[in-house]
Structure 1
């Protein structure tokens, strides 16, 4: 599996070399819009399959994830 190890190293090197650009993208308005839509969809789907008493916890998890992506 040397190919997978090489690929992982290349990915790690790319991330390290471009971490500032990646951080800018993750904190952009476009990332915020996309992440909000994605997180809203996931949150609503999870709420449909879990008991109602877990809705607040789902909302808390969604809010914590949202803080990590986008600019808001």
Structure 2
């Protein structure tokens, strides 16, 4: 059984692959990630009763910059 460090190393190596980077930063990834991030932010905002709307929006925007072409 692989250890956590081994799995983490493999995941990091996978994310460095050029084809993976292209997929993460393409137009299709942007469209899909926007929908997922919007849904997650809406659910989090609802769960918090709107008490953390700004923090949730900031986290959503930060995640959005990491994926897609924007």
Q: What TM-score bracket applies, with the shorter chain setting the length?
A: 0.7 to 0.9
Q: Which has the larger radius of gyration?
A: 1
Quote the Cα distance in structure 1 between the aligned partners of 2:50 and 2:37: 18
The alignment yields a C-alpha RMSD, in angstroms, of 2.4
Residue 15 in structure 1 maps to residue 18 in structure 2: no
Quote the Cα distance in structure 2 between the aligned partners of 1:61 and 1:53: 14
Q: TM-score scaled by structure 2?
A: 0.80
Where does residue 60 of structure 2 map in the other structure?
62
Q: TM-score scaled by structure 1?
A: 0.78
Q: Please give the secondary structure, in 1, of the residue aligned with 2:39.
A: helix
**Structure 2 runs not aligned, ≥5 long:** none
Give the structure with the larger helix fraction.
1
Runs of 4+ deviating beyond 3 Å: none
Count of equivalent residues: 67
CA positional deviation for 1:15: 1.7
1:53 pairs with 51, 54, 65, which one?
Answer: 51
**Structure 1 runs not aligned, ≥5 long:** none
